[in-house]
Amino acid sequence: MNLKFRSRWWSFGFRSTVMLYFIMLIVIPIIGIYTQSFSLGWTPFYESISDPLAWKAVLLTVKLAIIAAIINILIGTMIGWTLNRYKFAGRRLLNSLVDLPFALPTAVGGLMILLLLGPNSVVGSLAEKLGFEIVFHEPAIVVAMVFVTFPFVIRAVQPLLEELDKSEEEAAYTMGATKAKTFIRIIFPSLLPGVLSGGMLAFSRALAEFGAVVLVAGNIPGKTLIASVYIYGEIESDNSQGAAAVSILLLTFSFLILWIVSRVQARRSAK
């Protein structure tokens, strides 16, 4: 009985510690943001989110995050397929480098993009000769968002490719189906849950990106100022209520996306 009591006590203590950690680290800060955003009432909250600069910053962020997510879906699916289906020199190294954006500080990523695509770089100089600029314009923001969200789709697709029954592919080939038709009819439907969940996570992460973007965006109000940089500017201007109001728009977007991802994963597990 004594051992049983101790086991239950340790189990209860462990669960309580985990829940306390979760509440203090996630729940309380989220409640604090919502409380701060409505601290002065509904009218100041509405004025904060309807401010033209704030609205343009949010719309620009959503637009560029969607573009970055689509790019990641296309490239990430191809890279995941290549890493899973083909053996070549450097495959393990490439597979390990996929997670580099998770390990690398985002500010360092922004500096890398600035050095690679800036006006003094080979690529930047060539772009200027062709009549357009990359850094301090929307393309640089998209590149930064793609960089920080690069692993999501790849890591979501790879487990599905490993679980895929190759006998269905072989049967399709035996019946005369082309590789393209087999991929569209047999393979892609199995990959779709991973592609969608990875793409939505990439979109959600791109919404909140700050470190990589702030170095390459130019931060021009109404043109290249994204929501996270706008929020930072409001904090610097001592307008914490306005910053919190815009923050909960992004937070609500993220909650909605995470809910959709959980639903997609639940359906996948139920099959």
Q: What is the mean pLDDT of residues 138-165?
A: 88
CATH of residue 215: 1.10.3720.10
pLDDT band at 263 (very low <50, low <70, confident <90, very high): confident
Considering the domain architecture, whether residues 55 and 7 belong to the same structural domain is answered as: no
Using a 10 angstrom Cβ sphere, with 0-12 exposed, 13-18 middle and 19 or more buried, the burial of residue 63 is middle
- The answer, yes or no, to whether residue 214 has pLDDT greater than 80, is yes
In a domain, 141, yes or no: yes
| Separation of first and last alpha carbons in the chain | 42
In a domain, 17, yes or no: yes
Considering the domain architecture, whether residues 130 and 18 belong to the same structural domain is answered as: no
Considering the domain architecture, whether residues 55 and 28 belong to the same structural domain is answered as: no
Query: What is the number of structural domains in the chain?
Result: 2
**What residue numbers bound the domain in which 253 lies?**
51-270
pLDDT in tens, 38-55: 777 788 778 788 888 888
In a domain, 101, yes or no: yes
% of residues, the chain, pLDDT over 90 = 12
- The answer, yes or no, to whether residue 1 has pLDDT greater than 60, is no
pLDDT band at 71 (very low <50, low <70, confident <90, very high): very high
**Model pLDDT, residue 270:** 60
In a domain, 18, yes or no: yes
**Model pLDDT, residue 45:** 78
Arithmetic mean of pLDDT over the chain: 82
Q: Are 224 and 145 in contact (CB under 8 A)?
A: no
- CA–CA gap between residue 222 and residue 46 (Å, rounded): 19
Residue 144's closest CA among 31, 222, 61? 61
Considering the domain architecture, whether residues 101 and 8 belong to the same structural domain is answered as: no
Kind plus residue range of the DSSP H or E element containing 5 = helix 2-22
In a domain, 59, yes or no: yes
- CA–CA gap between residue 106 and residue 12 (Å, rounded): 38
In a domain, 82, yes or no: yes
Q: What is the mean pLDDT of residues 125-135?
A: 80
Q: What is the mean pLDDT of residues 169-190?
A: 76
Q: What is the mean pLDDT of residues 66-82?
A: 92
- CA–CA gap between residue 61 and residue 82 (Å, rounded): 31
Contacts (Cβ under 8 Å, ≥6 apart) of 138: 60, 64, 224
**Model pLDDT, residue 271:** 58
- The token pair at 189 is 């439907």
Considering the domain architecture, whether residues 26 and 141 belong to the same structural domain is answered as: no
Considering the domain architecture, whether residues 104 and 174 belong to the same structural domain is answered as: yes
- The answer, yes or no, to whether residue 72 has pLDDT greater than 90, is yes
Amino acid at 199: G
Q: Are 110 and 160 in contact (CB under 8 A)?
A: no
Considering the domain architecture, whether residues 257 and 160 belong to the same structural domain is answered as: yes
Considering the domain architecture, whether residues 88 and 195 belong to the same structural domain is answered as: yes
Q: What is the mean pLDDT of residues 162-188?
A: 75
- The answer, yes or no, to whether residue 266 has pLDDT greater than 80, is no
Considering the domain architecture, whether residues 55 and 5 belong to the same structural domain is answered as: no
**Model pLDDT, residue 7:** 62
pLDDT in tens, 222-256: 888 898 888 888 888 888 888 888 888 888 888 88
- The token pair at 235 is 């904090």
Q: What is the mean pLDDT of residues 67-94?
A: 89
Considering the domain architecture, whether residues 156 and 192 belong to the same structural domain is answered as: yes
Considering the domain architecture, whether residues 33 and 56 belong to the same structural domain is answered as: no
Considering the domain architecture, whether residues 102 and 203 belong to the same structural domain is answered as: yes
**Model pLDDT, residue 253:** 81
Q: What is the mean pLDDT of residues 247-266?
A: 79
